[in-house]
Amino acid sequence: MLTELDDLPEGLLDLPAHRLHEVLKGPTLIHLPGRRKPPLFVSVLLHGNEDVGLKAVQTLLRRIEALPRALSIFIGNVGAARHGARFMPDQPDFNRVWPGGDFADSWEARTLAEVVGIMAARGVFANVDIHNNTGLNPHYACINRLDHRFLQLALLFSRTVVYFVQPKGVQSMAFAGLCPATTLECGKPGYARGEQHATNYLEACLRLAELPTHPVVEQDIDLFHTVAVVKLLPEASFSFGGDAAEVRFDNDLDRFNFHELPAGTVLAEIAADGPVRLSVTDERGEDVTRRYFVNQEGRLTLKKSVMPSMLTLDEEIVRQDCLCYLMERVAIPQ
């Protein structure tokens, strides 16, 4: 299922994501030469409705004629991009089935494992996976190892860095055994600022002779640890803005993203005598709902101080993925 190329298909740099199927059959790995080796590896469009990575790569390659470092580009879910969807109904999430994730017997998982194998044989300088998100979030970078090389790679994009080990099967985690790896979260699709930020970051990475290894200075970074994921129960109805439902969130719920919320903060209205209708799991997969939420006379209320990320008002994303993640501030490793 994987197409591997040593040059750019004609027209690739000019096509929007929803027209990539005109020149690509499906998941495609493209290797481009540069003055230095090993290559920088960049993955884009793991979610078909998040085109910031594609636009950044297109702008970068139009801007630079001779690459300062070799570049390998993986273009993921071309089929979903055609329809502007995160993934198609008959597909798993392309950012949950990399080695170490579920669905190991699917063609998608086998294809992504093949990509990792190819890049392991070639060697990788660093790994960058580029995404948009659907709620109000700052631009930030994610890492899966508390290693100063990973922190330096992330800090090159943003002083806001999130460390997580769940969910499994994500792209950056699969590459973390090969090289320093990060995921970029570039805000909502369609905003020039996100595209420009990602483009400038990729160019900076390509121009590095080596990755910094010295410790990150504490004053230069805001480091957070994702401690839990929050999901609506599948059978629970919910709404944003007051429509009748079992869980009624405000229509600007995502204003809470990356704000440290104190205990007692109310997130929604619920039945006064009912359950919270949420499922919260920690890094070990244990149910910790009661640790974080309580029903206080019909108000869904935080029991302890946390910082949410990825809160979204997109009902489809809530069903496909989650409502949000919960984070706590952590000190940088010594």
Across the range 194-217, mean pLDDT stands at: 96
Number of compact structural domains in the chain: 2
Are 8 and 121 found together in one domain? Answer: yes
Across the range 143-154, mean pLDDT stands at: 97
- Residue 18, domain member (yes or no): yes
- Residue 109, domain member (yes or no): yes
Chain segment 265-284, per-residue pLDDT in tens: 999 999 998 899 999 999 99
- Residue 114, domain member (yes or no): yes
Are 148 and 268 found together in one domain? Answer: no
HSE (side-chain half, CA atoms, 13 Å) at 171: 28
- Residue 41, domain member (yes or no): yes
Angstrom distance (rounded) from CA 265 to CA 37? 50
Across the range 317-326, mean pLDDT stands at: 94
Are 251 and 199 found together in one domain? Answer: no
Angstrom distance (rounded) from CA 41 to CA 325? 27
Residue type, 192: A
- Residue 247, domain member (yes or no): yes
Are 207 and 80 found together in one domain? Answer: yes
Are 73 and 125 found together in one domain? Answer: yes
Confidence band of 334 (pLDDT split at 50, 70, 90): confident
Chain segment 296-310, per-residue pLDDT in tens: 999 999 999 999 999
Are 48 and 166 found together in one domain? Answer: yes
Are 232 and 140 found together in one domain? Answer: no
Angstrom distance (rounded) from CA 329 to CA 163? 10
Chain segment 210-243, per-residue pLDDT in tens: 999 899 999 999 999 999 999 999 999 999 987 8
Q: Which of 182, 202, 220 is the last residue of a domain?
A: 220
Are 209 and 249 found together in one domain? Answer: no
- Domain containing residue 65: 3-220
Residue 93 has pLDDT above 80, yes or no: yes
Chain segment 28-68, per-residue pLDDT in tens: 999 999 999 999 999 999 999 999 999 999 999 999 989 99
Residue 1 has pLDDT above 90, yes or no: no
Place of tokens 């290797």: 31
| Weakest-pLDDT range from 73-87, 191-205, 229-243 | 229-243
Taking alpha carbons only, the member of 259, 238, 227 closest to residue 323 is 238
Are 105 and 157 found together in one domain? Answer: yes
Angstrom distance (rounded) from CA 231 to CA 287? 11
Residue 103 has pLDDT above 80, yes or no: no
Q: Which of 165, 190, 220 is the last residue of a domain?
A: 220
- Residue 333, domain member (yes or no): no
- Residue 334, domain member (yes or no): no
Are 165 and 231 found together in one domain? Answer: no
Are 74 and 151 found together in one domain? Answer: yes
Task: Read off the CATH number of the domain in which 77 is found.
Answer: 3.40.630.10
Termini Cα distance of the chain:
44
Are 148 and 72 found together in one domain? Answer: yes
